[in-house]
Amino acid sequence: MSAPTSASNSTSFDWLYRGTTEIFPDQPESEDPSQNLTQRLIQSDRPLRVKLGIDPTGTDIHLGHSIPVRKLRAFQDAGHTAVLIIGDFTARIGDPTGKSEVRKQLTEAQVKQNAQTYLEQLRPVLDFDTPGRLEIRYNSEWLSKLDLSKILELLASMTVGQMLAKEGFAERFGQESPIYLHEFLYPLMQGYDSVAVQADVELGGTDQKFNLAVGRDLQRLFNQTPQFGLLTPILIGTDGVQKMSKSLGNYVGLSEDALTMYSKLEKTPDDQLITYFELLTNLPLDTLPENPRDRQKQLALEVVTQFHGADAATQAQKDAQNLVAGATGAADNVPEFSLSTVEFPVPIFYLVSASGLCKSSGDARRQIQGGGVKLDGEKVTDVNQKFAQADELTGRILQMGKKKFVRLIP
RNA sequence: GGGUCGGUGCCCGAGUGGUUAAUGGGGGCGGACUGUAAAUCCGCUGACUACGUCUACGUUGGUUCGAAUCCAACCCGGCCCA
């Protein structure tokens, strides 16, 4: 799984190959800088322009989205120019990749706002500060100006057969589900982005291969040196099975708070651990702890540090441990519930519901019957157990499950 | 516009006149267990201070002792034809 650090090109280009699935074109033995990216990096007398496009179609991005962005950062750190393209124009069409449905159209305002939050979330990942290392471009800048003759030129560069070879199209065509003509324009527009910014390299997930290849074709058409394509893996989600995606709920969002992030990463499935380290951190892979549990913790700590800083990360680790251990010891942070809001005598189930530990009194009854409610650490067994006076309860701690506590006050 | 199928609880999806608060799965919440808030196993999963009452099967009416189930109109969606 880890990138082979072969003897020939070791040391200096580890950053390039770490977590890289494929680079094309790629002729390892060749010294031709148009066929071998490391040769290009060595021989070039200027920083390369490394393109990554993001379509601001939603509001949140997750660790899966951050993979190619991290690679972009690696290029920045090696002295190259990151060209981050905000696909404000393309977002309104939607990339058919991997989608069985036509994406719903977004309004201009939505797209604009999404773009803002995206940049905000990417701030910890990219180098925004070093002069000359980051160029942010909106592709409406050139795409909205294309006139019909130019569009025809783009369209004429490709055949229907080639287009239908693309994964998403092939499936949909086979299933006789609709493919709208404007969707054919998407790969061409993304490719044209490469022309517009004169990209030397374009990054993308493995599902982007087709689109990156179109970029090469179009650059050739416009007499530019075709870009290299560099593909990064699709990150598996926290469930360890399916790709990370918001709709599957197996994601870790870049804007999540430290504790949430830590808690999710701390239980990364064992067989995904190395991959996560490889793709989400820069830690050397041969010095990881032996114990898988320790690996999980280190991974969580490391990634949270990237987004929230070291202090917040260690705090999150502590908080997470306390939560699991049971928080009765750390009684300081327990919310309070005033008994003055209930009428006595009060049955225990009502108390559990009224204090907000359960969403309804029916739920409270069931939880008590299921053995999930404790008073001062002692399991409550009788749903209808009654308390006549407030002082019977004052100062005691009511607990629901492992994580929800309430201190009863007058 | 015509035809046809369908709209069920957080989601998916059974149920086609009477123990139906409504099978099953997912998700969620508890319990046990564990290196984990993982995996596995078990329980719960409409509301109400509750042996009863109320609200629920797209909407509104109707038939019936009784309907999510039958009828009518309307709204929304899929597919087919134009």
Range name among A96-110, A182-196, A273-287 with the lowest pLDDT average: A96-110
Beta bridge partner(s), residue A378: A375
- ipTM of this model? 0.82
pLDDT (mean) for A6-26: 76
For residue range A113-145, what is the model confidence (pLDDT) as tens digits?
Answer: 889 999 999 999 999 999 999 999 999 999 999
Q: Which residue's CA shows the smallest distance to C1' of B39?
A: A269
- Distance (Å, whole) CA A168 – CA A110: 25
Q: Which nucleotide is nearest to A360 (CA to C1')?
A: B47
- Distance (Å, whole) CA A26 – CA A10: 17
Distance A355 CA to B49 C1' (A): 13
Q: Which nucleotide is nearest to A367 (CA to C1')?
A: B30
Per-residue pLDDT band at A171 (split at 50, 70, 90):
low
Residue A271 vs residue A232, higher pLDDT: A232
Is the Cβ–Cβ distance between A200 and A49 less than 8 Å?
yes
For residue range A195-254, what is the model confidence (pLDDT) as tens digits?
Answer: 999 999 999 999 899 999 999 999 999 999 999 999 999 888 887 777 887 766 678 889
Distance A141 CA to B2 C1' (A): 47
Beta bridge partner(s), residue A398: A375, A406
Distance A148 CA to B11 C1' (A): 45
Q: Which nucleotide is nearest to A322 (CA to C1')?
A: B37
DSSP letter assigned to residue A402: T
- Distance (Å, whole) CA A80 – CA A199: 12
Q: Which nucleotide is nearest to A240 (CA to C1')?
A: B38
Distance A357 CA to B21 C1' (A): 24
What pLDDT does A260 receive?
82
Range name among A55-59, A197-201, A224-228, A357-361 with the lowest pLDDT average: A55-59
For A197, phi then psi, to 5°, come to -100, 5
What pLDDT does A9 receive?
40
3-state secondary structure A114-162: HHHHHHHHHCCCCCCCCCCCEEEEECHHHHCCCCHHHHHHHHCCCCHHH
What pLDDT does A344 receive?
85
The fraction of chain A above a pLDDT of 90, given in percent, is 38
Distance A296 CA to B36 C1' (A): 9
- Distance (Å, whole) CA A291 – CA A378: 35
- Distance (Å, whole) CA A39 – CA A281: 26
Q: Which nucleotide is nearest to A176 (CA to C1')?
A: B79
Q: Which residue's CA shows the smallest distance to C1' of B50?
A: A362
Mean pLDDT of all residues belonging to chain A: 84
Query: In chain B, which nucleotides are within 7 Å of a protein Cβ?
Result: 27-32, 35-39, 43-50, 79-80
- Distance (Å, whole) CA A254 – CA A260: 11
Per-residue pLDDT band at A174 (split at 50, 70, 90):
low
